[in-house]
Amino acid sequence: MADCDLCGRGIPTVNPVRVFRPLLKFAYPEGVWTGLCENCLESADKTRVKVEKEELAGTPGKCKLCGTKTDLYPVELHIPNFSKGVMTEDAMLCKKCLDAAGETYVKFKKEQYAGHGHH
């Protein structure tokens, strides 16, 4: 089992997203991997598309995935809660992390479409 790095949901596998954490840039210049569940990945990609269409303005703050202090954009999370069912909450992510999640999302969808790439 693995936990999604955004919503915390425990699932069999997560989708790897490469993020660049400023505090780790010398130790890991190629970035570090975080794992997102399918729902968070899809939400991040929806936010990325809105940002590219300039439908969303950034809010200054610290990115939940990489820790960079920059303009952030809300990604809607659906967090399982035993007493209340599913709770909706926004995680604030920077453009770089949104782009990385978008790349992973496109790969994930292609693999799903291609029958998980067993050719």
58-79 per-position pLDDT tens digit: 999 999 999 999 999 999 998 8
Question: What pTM was computed for the model?
Answer: 0.86
Q: Please compute, for residue 108, the number of CA atoms within 13 A of its CA located in the half-sphere on the CB side.
A: 20
Q: Contact at 8 Å (CB) between 5 and 65?
A: yes
pLDDT > 80? residue 115: no
What is the pLDDT averaged over residues 77-101? 91
User: What pLDDT does residue 80 have?
Assistant: 78
pLDDT tens per residue across span 11-60: 999 999 999 988 888 888 889 999 999 999 999 999 999 999 999 899 99
Please give the DSSP secondary-structure letter assigned to residue 56.
S
**Per-residue confidence band for 116, with pLDDT thresholds at 50, 70 and 90:** low
